[in-house]
Structure formats: C-alpha cells, structure tokens
Amino acid sequence: MDSLRLWATERTIVSARVRKVWVADSLRLKAESGTGPESVGAFLAELAAGLTKRIEAVSLELEDETDSLEEIGLTGNEIKPERIARLRQTVIKLRRYISPQRDALDALSSLRSGVVHSDASVLVNETANRTRRTLEELDASRDRLTALQEQMDAEHANALARNGYLLSVVAAIFLPLGFLTGLFGVNIAGMPGLSAPFAFWALTLASAAIGITLYVVFKLSKWL
C-alpha cells in the first residue's frame, strides 16, 4: 500500500508519491486531455472513489477465496494450513492500511471549506461509507478464517485423541497377554507344560480367549 500526499487550495493541487498510483496517473491523463475534474473538490472525490474501487476489488477476491476454503472444509477435504495462514496475513495487512484511509475520508467528508464543496462532500462521504463496508468485510473474512483455523485445529486434536485412546485400549488388551507370554517364556525348572505336547496350543487358546473377553468387556463398557 502506497501513500499519496496532497496539498490543495481552491484552484491548485500538488501531489507527492514515491511509487506509481494508477488512479493519480489516470486523473493526470484526463487533465492533460481536457476531460479531467472541473474543480479541486471533484478531483478529490474522484481520486478517493478510484482508490476505494481498487481496494474493493481486492477485498472481493479475498472474500471469494475465503468462501472457497469454507466449502472445502465443509466437504471434509483437507486444507493446507499454509494457505489459510497466507490468506489471513493478506487480510490483516490490507485491513491495517484501509483503517487509516477510512479515517482520512471521514475527515475529508466532514471538512467545511472552499476546497471541498457540498456536491464533492457528498461523493466523498459515499466513498467513506464504501471504505467502511470494505473494512467490515475484511473483519468478517478475518474472523471466518480464524474460525476455520480453529476448526481445523480442533479436528486434528480430536483425531490425535482418538488415535491415542485407541492405542491405550489396544495396550490394555495386550498387557495381560504380554504378561502371560513373558511368564511362560521363563526357561526355568518347574514351569507347567514343559513336557506336554498340547501346552503351546492351550496357552494360545487361553490368550485368544482373554483378548476376546477383554474386547467384549470394553465394548459393553462403551470404551470402544
């Protein structure tokens, strides 16, 4: 966002800028061709309207992109976090510059002098209202993007919680099974079933029965 400084009297306007401002160049070309504004007030009103029109176009593009992200989120598709972060940063930066411009237009519309006559003051006031609406739209886009980011964070947190809970349940089921296999894996005298040919299958069936029983208990307890 570039600044445009003006010094105006009832018959003269002197402007200063560092970078190119398209609206100012357009008005300069109109003045050179003899089709420019007829008064200083009309020049200021047309300049303010041109600046606001360009900002409105950018604001509408940001709003459309926000709508697109919301539709993607509602359909359950994944949104890249950097896309939301980039869009939020753009909205915040644009809003930072529009707020002073709104204040300047409000001050210009309420100015009572020979520079800005009544007709131009009405046009400037209308432009100030448009700038105010653009600022409100940016605020709404910023809030919507914040809500979308919070929704994504909540979904990720819920997914992590579900996965952690599932792992905890699986660990709870396999904990006694691990105890049994560790206990019967001790290679010392006195272990039951060392000489029985069916001992391995008995231990396997007992482990399966314990696992199924624990699963049913967790299911009935609504832990799964």
* Statement to judge: residues 195 and 128 lie in one domain: no
* Statement to judge: residues 193 and 107 lie in one domain: no
* Statement to judge: residues 55 and 37 lie in one domain: yes
pLDDT at 193 over 70: no
* Statement to judge: residues 48 and 123 lie in one domain: yes
pLDDT at 37 over 80: no
DSSP 159-183: HHHHHHHHHHHHHHHHHHHHHHHHH
123-162: pLDDT as tens digits:
878 888 888 888 888 899 889 888 888 888 888 888 888 8
pLDDT at 1 over 80: no
Closest C-alpha among 6, 57, 58, 50 to residue 29: 50
Q: Which of 162, 183, 198 is the last residue of a domain?
A: 162
pLDDT at 10 over 70: yes
Q: Residue 60's domain spans which residues?
A: 4-162
pLDDT at 166 over 70: yes
Q: Averaged over 63-81, what is the pLDDT? A: 82
* Statement to judge: residues 68 and 83 lie in one domain: yes
* Statement to judge: residues 82 and 108 lie in one domain: yes
101-129: pLDDT as tens digits:
888 888 777 776 666 776 777 787 888 88
Phi-psi region of 182 (alpha: psi -120 to 50; beta: other; left: phi over 0): alpha
Q: Domain tally for the chain?
A: 2
The model carries a pTM of: 0.64
* Statement to judge: residues 176 and 92 lie in one domain: no
* Statement to judge: residues 145 and 175 lie in one domain: no
pLDDT at 164 over 80: yes
The pLDDT assigned to 224 comes to 63
Q: Averaged over 24-43, what is the pLDDT? A: 75
The pLDDT assigned to 2 comes to 66
CATH number (domain holding residue 170): 1.20.58
Q: Averaged over 76-80, what is the pLDDT? A: 76
Average pLDDT, the chain: 80
The pLDDT assigned to 105 comes to 80
Inter-CA distances, 106 with 15, 21, 140, 155, Å: 20, 21, 21, 43
Which is higher by pLDDT, 12 or 194?
Answer: 12
